[in-house]
Structure formats: structure tokens, C-alpha cells
Structure 1
Amino acid sequence: MSTKALIPGNSQWARATALNAFERFAVAEGFSANAIYEFVGGDSTGDILYIVLDNFAVYLAFKESSKGLLLSKNSVASYFGNVKNHLLELFPALSAVSGRRLQKIASILYKYCSKRGTDFTHQAPPCTKSDLRSLSLAILKGAASAQDYQDAALLNILWCLLG
């Protein structure tokens, strides 16, 4: 009896789905999954593994589901984690070399997907004329050099140009 027989069916299905997504990523990048495995296996520094998983993370972050919506945060995290674990099982020597770097990719990906599609990233209201006036007055009241006056002038010019 192998250890793979002890893995629950849902976990095996999730891994198979993640590996299918990885194969679609490889085809989209113009490679096959086996070619990527050869490249990763030939590099003892873990740099190629890092680059491949970083590109895979970007692919997942912008991948649309069959319904035309972006993949959910949980799906992205599951696919990335399963592919990362699969590659580290294939190449256990790279686990010690690139473990922290890969964890950083995973955490950045999760944070990005958590904020994606929300108004959380668009919180700052536009600058109004009264805001511009108070900013300019604060700069001009504390002006001690020509650079301070130049900063106030640039602030006003940028506000006129960009609104």
C-alpha cells in the first residue's frame, strides 16, 4: 500500500485540477509541463522554480473561470499551493533553497486576491479645491526656502493638470 492511497479523494481531485491549470499555464507560456519540470530539475539554485511559480501566480491572479469571472481567492490559493507542493515533491532538494521565497509569493498572491474586486483599493477621495487651498497654505506658511515655494507652485500646477 502506497502513501498516496491514504490521501483523501477530495485532495487528490484538487491536486489534479491544480495540475491541469498548471498545464494550461505551461501551454499559454509556450512550453509543456514536462519541459518546465526539466528546467526546474536542472537548476540547483531554485531560481527557475521561483520564476515559474511567480509567473504561475500572476497567471492565476488574472485567470477567468468558465463563467467569465476571475478565479476566487480560495481557488487561486489552492491551485498555487498544490502546484508548489507537487513541484517540491518532485524536487525535494529545492525545498530548503527556496522555501521562504515561495511562501512570500503565496502570501502576496493571497493578499492581492483578497483585495481584488473590492472598493478597498479605491478609498482615497479626489482632492477638492478646499483641500488644495489648505495644502498650499500649509506649505506656504512654513516656507523657509525657494524650494518650498516651488513645491507649492508644483502642487497647484499638478492639481490643474490632473484635477
Structure 2
Amino acid sequence: MSLSAFVPTNTQKARTTAIAAFKRMLEEENVSMEFFQANILLDNSGKRLAATMDRFGFYLATNEGKKGKLARNTATSYHRNVKLWLFDQYPHLRVPTELILLSKARP
């Protein structure tokens, strides 16, 4: 039994929706998921992953969906879920990417 069995259903649905939004962003940018994964694996500094997360945040802030713009808390939730999903896939990039993202948050 894996740990994912203990994750609440709502959390699993939110993560699935966020990942779908991330894949839509890649499609709109004409980037395949395979190309994205290959680029992330080539970069050990975390800069590409941080840049992609910045781009995804911009996409969430400016994208008009079927029901208009996303609410701020929804966009934040999507961004966080995708970031954690990517950190689960690439655990060696967690610390460098977090440091880059934190340094951008400081004025």
C-alpha cells in the first residue's frame, strides 16, 4: 500500500486538475511533456524548473478559462500542487529550485 492511498480524495482531484492545467500550458506554448522532462533532467541547477514554474504562475494569472479568470486561491493551489508534483518526480531539484524561487520572492 502506497502513501497516496491516505491522501484525501479532494486533494487528489485538485492535484489532477492542476496537472491538467500545467499540461495545457505546455501545449499552448508548443512544448511536449517529453521535451520538458528531458530539459529538466539535463539541468541540475534547478533554473529551468524555476523558470517553468514562473511561467506557469504567469499563465495562471493571465489565462481566461471557460468561467473567466481563476480566483487567486485557486491559482495558488494549482501552482503549489504542480510544484509539489514536480518535486516528487525530480527530488534532486527540490532544494536548488526552492532557493531560486525564494530569492525571487524577496524585494
Q: Same fold (TM over 0.5)?
A: yes
| Residue number in structure 1 paired with 2:101 | 102
Q: State the one-letter code of the partner of 1:80.
A: H
Deviation at 1:102, TM superposition (A): 2.5
Distance, in Å, in 2 between the alignment partners of 1:104 and 1:10 is 31
Unpaired segments ≥5 residues, structure 1: 109-163
Q: Which runs of 5+ in 2 are unaligned?
A: none
User: Across the two proteins, how many residue pairs are aligned to each other?
Assistant: 106
Residue 89 of structure 2 corresponds to residue 86 of structure 1: no
What is the aligned partner in structure 1 of residue 23 from structure 2?
Answer: 23
Q: What TM-score comes out, normalization by structure 1 length? A: 0.61
Of stretches 32-41 and 46-55 in structure 1, the one that deviates more from structure 2 is 32-41
Matches of 2:73 and 2:93, distance apart in 1: 26
Shift of 1:35: 2.0
Is the contact between residue 22 and residue 33 of structure 1 (CA under 8 Å) also seen in structure 2?
A: no
1:51 aligns with 2:51: yes
Aligned counterpart, 2:35: 35
TM-score (norm 2): 0.90
- Partners of 1:88 and 1:75 in 2: CA distance: 20
Residue of structure 1 in register with 2:2 after alignment = 2
The aligned residue for residue 141 of structure 1 is none
CA distance in 2, matches of 1:76, 1:104: 21
- Percent identity, aligned pairs only, is 34
Matched residue, 1:112:
none
Aligned to 2:12: 12
Q: CA deviation at 1:104?
A: 5.8
Aligned to 1:70: 69
Inter-partner Cα distance in structure 2 for 1:45 and 1:83 = 19
> Partner letter of residue 91 of structure 1?
Y
- Deviations, residues 13-63 of structure 1 (Å, cap 9, x unaligned): 000000000000000111122321221122101011011111111111101
Determine if contact 1:88/1:95 at 8 Å carries over to the other structure: yes
After the TM superposition, list the runs of 4 or more consecutive aligned residues in structure 1 that deviate by more than 3 angstroms: none
The RMSD of aligned alpha carbons is: 1.7
